[in-house]
């Protein structure tokens, strides 16, 4: 992350319909096919005119109950905010995660300007980590207000 980046928020990302190798997967303690990920969201520039969010995942465990597998996941995911046109104020954005697919083996968006390369990793033993692949159909970020608690306009820029 660059020096001018800031923590926007702590988020809980709720994901439904989650599978691993065709089997239901979930975050530990959650319902089947539900993953709740706790992340720190940081804003950053990805490139000229490209605004992004760096989602820094707090370490979490996923389980595949049918296979009795426990997976430790750590790392970061970078997404580009889409949907706002210059000068337009909106409260709903699409977050393009440029997710990794197994055949690609790497994410299109790799780092914030001035930052280091981000990666998402998983481990079955807590020692040896490998790239974590994800395939997300769509992600929408919604803001339910247009002013923060101090009365300042949000998402102006």
Q: Read off the pLDDT of residues 48-65 as tens digits, 9 standing for 90 and up.
A: 878 888 889 999 999 999
Q: How confident is the model at residue 128 (pLDDT cuts 50, 70, 90)?
A: very high
The strand ranges marked E within 2-156 are: 6-16, 19-20, 23-24, 26-27, 34-47, 50-64, 69-82, 92-96, 120-123, 130-131, 140-142
- 54 within 8 A of 30, measured Cβ to Cβ: no
Report pLDDT for 71.
94
Report pLDDT for 1.
43
Helices (H) and strands (E) in the chain, counts: 0, 11
Regarding pTM above 0.85, the answer is: no
Report pLDDT for 131.
82
Report pLDDT for 25.
95
Q: How confident is the model at residue 157 (pLDDT cuts 50, 70, 90)?
A: very low
Q: How confident is the model at residue 30 (pLDDT cuts 50, 70, 90)?
A: very high
Q: How confident is the model at residue 70 (pLDDT cuts 50, 70, 90)?
A: very high
């Amino acid at each position: 992350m660059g020096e001018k980046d800031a923590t926007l928020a702590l988020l809980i990302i709720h994901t439904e319909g989650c599978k691993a190798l065709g089997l239901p997967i979930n975050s530990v303690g959650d319902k089947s096919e539900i993953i709740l990920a706790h992340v720190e969201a940081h804003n950053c520039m990805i490139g000229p005119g490209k605004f992004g969010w760096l989602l820094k995942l707090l370490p979490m465990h996923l389980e595949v109950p049918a296979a009795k597998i426990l997976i430790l996941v750590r790392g970061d995911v970078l997404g580009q905010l889409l949907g706002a046109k210059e000068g337009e104020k909106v409260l709903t954005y699409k977050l393009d995660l440029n997710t990794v697919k197994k055949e690609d083996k790497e994410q299109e968006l790799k780092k914030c300007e001035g930052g280091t390369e981000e990666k998402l990793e998983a481990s079955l033993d807590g020692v040896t980590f490998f790239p974590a692949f994800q395939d997300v159909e769509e992600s929408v970020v919604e803001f339910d207000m247009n002013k923060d608690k101090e009365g300042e306009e949000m998402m102006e820029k």
